[in-house]
Amino acid sequence: MLHHISTDKFGPLGLPMAETIERCVHCGFCLAACPTYQELGQEMDSPRGRIVLMKEVLEGKLDWDTAQPHVDRCLGCLACEPACPSGVPYRDLISPFRALAQEKFKRTPGERFARWLSAKTVPYPTRFRIAATLGKLGKFFAPLMPTAIKPMLELLPAKLPPKQSWPEVTPAQCERRARVALLIGCAQQVLDPDINTATIEVLSRNGVEVVVPRTQGCCGGLAWHTGNLDAARNFAKRNLNTFPTDVDAVLTNAAGCGSAMHEYHLVLAGTPDAARAESFRHRVMDVSVFLTKLGLLDKPQGFGAPLKVAYHDACHLANAQGVRREPRELLRTIPGLQLLELPNAHLCCGSAGSYNMEQPAIAASLGEQKARAVIATGASVVASGNIGCLTQLRVHLAKLGSPIMIRHTLQVLRDAYDNQGS
In a domain, 161, yes or no: no
Q: Could you tell me if 265 and 240 lie in one domain?
A: yes
Q: Are 374 and 312 in contact (CB under 8 A)?
A: yes
Q: Mean pLDDT over residues 391-398, rounded?
A: 95
Residue 20 phi, psi dihedral angles, 5° rounding = -65, -45
β-strand 169-170 against 208-211: which pairing, if any? antiparallel
Look at residue 142 and tell me whether its pLDDT is greater than 60: no
DSSP state of 419: T
Domain count, the chain: 4
- Nearest CA among 339, 345, 336 for reference residue 326: 339
Q: Could you tell me if 54 and 134 lie in one domain?
A: no
In a domain, 163, yes or no: no
**Considering 278, 293, 308, which residue would you say is the last residue of a domain?**
293
Predicted pLDDT of residue 8: 64
Predicted pLDDT of residue 422: 41
Q: Could you tell me the residue range of the domain that residue 20 belongs to?
A: 7-101
In a domain, 160, yes or no: no
Look at residue 109 and tell me whether its pLDDT is greater than 90: no
In a domain, 188, yes or no: yes
Query: Where is average pLDDT lowest: 69-78, 133-142, 350-359, 379-388?
Result: 133-142
∠ CA(239), CA(241), CA(246), 5° rounding?
95
Look at residue 6 and tell me whether its pLDDT is greater than 60: no
Rounded to two decimals, the pTM is 0.93
Q: Could you tell me if 319 and 271 lie in one domain?
A: no
Q: Mean pLDDT over residues 230-234, rounded?
A: 96
**Considering 61, 81, 101, which residue would you say is the last residue of a domain?**
101
Give me Rg for the CA atoms of the chain: 21
Return the CATH number at 251: 1.20.1050
Residue predicted with more confidence, 152 or 55: 55
Q: Are 78 and 315 in contact (CB under 8 A)?
A: yes
How many C-beta atoms surround the C-beta of residue 85 within 10 A?
A: 9
Return the CATH number at 55: 1.10.1060.10
The mean pLDDT of the chain is 91
Q: Could you tell me if 50 and 143 lie in one domain?
A: no
What 3-state DSSP class applies to 365? Answer: helix
Name 285's bridge partners: 251
Q: Could you tell me if 240 and 214 lie in one domain?
A: yes
Q: Could you tell me if 309 and 373 lie in one domain?
A: yes
* pLDDT band, very low/low/confident/very high, at 204 (cuts 50, 70, 90): very high
Return the CATH number at 393: 3.40.50
Predicted pLDDT of residue 354: 79
